A and B are shown apart, each in its own frame.
Chain A
Amino acid sequence: KQEVTQIPAALSVPEGENLVLNCSFTDSAIYNLQWFRQDPGKGLTSLLLIQSSQREQTSGRLNASLDKSSGRSTLYIAASQPGDSATYLCAVMDSSYKLIFGSGTRLLVRP
């Protein structure tokens, strides 16, 4: 059974810092990995999608990497801003086409 773990559960950093969020998964047989952002009381917004054959994806200040063999992904946020404060969720699409989510990392960027 696929399990997705995110570390840390919560993170507080001062504005301007570069930071890394971690995601690990137990079964390397995945179709893709996605990073989402969730603001309080809102739905999820897709940030980056990495296909299983890819190693990384970039969008603006965000960079996500994927090491399928080791079951790990990282989300790198450069020059963090207070507006980046949210919960970040990692999800993998498994061999049965189900998207399995981690429990998320709550990020607070302090002005």
Chain B
Amino acid sequence: DAGVIQSPRHEVTEMGQEVTLRCKPISGHNSLFWYRQTMMRGLELLIYFNNNVPIDDSGMPEDRFSAKMPNASFSTLKIQPSEPRDSAVYFCASSPGGASREKLFFGSGTQLSVL
């Protein structure tokens, strides 16, 4: 299996632009998670889906952030409009079963820089 695939690996954009991050979870995994990692705040859970349905989005910082999972093999995280403080590494992770039991498998992340 190729693992969790994220794209792009790096994204540089200007403040105010729309940014879309993409994730393909491991085939057969039922849960998908979006995390953000910064030096100041460490790893923060933004949102997670179970069977394509958003279960908890309380970590989404504000209305500029939105996430979708239209099918079991694809998810997007969109920031519109982007701001410099959104600069971080964004990770997608998936797990094969219920969130309480299984290991998480992380993608390589998207390094986002908003100028």
What size tier do the contact residues of chain B reach? 20 to 34
Task: Say yes or no: is A101 at the interface (Cβ < 8 Å to chain B).
Answer: yes
Question: Which partner residue on chain A sits nearest B99 by CB separation?
Answer: A97
A36 to B103, CA, bound (A): 10
Question: Which partner residue on chain B sits nearest A52 by CB separation?
Answer: B100
**By the criterion CB–CB under 8 Å, are A32 and B100 in contact?**
yes
Task: Say yes or no: is A29 at the interface (Cβ < 8 Å to chain B).
Answer: no
Task: Say yes or no: is B85 at the interface (Cβ < 8 Å to chain A).
Answer: no
Question: Which partner residue on chain A sits nearest B41 by CB separation?
Answer: A103
Give A92 Cβ to nearest chain B Cβ, in Å: 12
Q: Which of B61-69, B75-83, B104-112 contacts A (4 or more CB under 8 A)?
A: B104-112
Contacts of B42 in A (CB 8 A): 101-104
A49 to B103, CA, bound (A): 7
Give B109 Cβ to nearest chain A Cβ, in Å: 5
Task: Say yes or no: is A83 at the interface (Cβ < 8 Å to chain B).
Answer: no
Contacts of B33 in A (CB 8 A): 99
**By the criterion CB–CB under 8 Å, are A43 and B106 in contact?**
yes
Chain A 43-58 interface 0/1 with B at a Cβ cutoff of 8 Å (1 = within): 1111001010000000
What size tier do the contact residues of chain A reach? 20 to 34
Contacts known (A43-B91, A93-B99, A104-B42); A99 close to B108, Cβ less than 8 A: no
For this complex, 6 residue pairs linking A to B, each with C-beta atoms less than 8 Å apart, are: A43-B107, A43-B108, A51-B101, A97-B55, A97-B56, A100-B45
Known: A89-B43, A96-B56. 16 other contacts (CB 8 A): A31-B100, A34-B104, A43-B108, A44-B91, A44-B93, A45-B106, A46-B103, A46-B104, A49-B103, A97-B48, A97-B55, A97-B99, A98-B48, A101-B42, A101-B43, A104-B42
Q: Which 8 pairs across A and B sit closest by C-beta, in order of nearness?
A: A43-B106, A101-B43, A46-B103, A44-B106, A31-B100, A97-B99, A43-B108, A103-B42
User: Which B residues are within 8 Å of any A CB, using their own CB?
Assistant: 4, 33, 42-43, 45, 48, 55-56, 59, 91, 93, 99-109
User: Which A residues are within 8 Å of any B CB, using their own CB?
Assistant: 31-32, 34, 36, 42-46, 49, 51, 89, 91, 93, 96-104
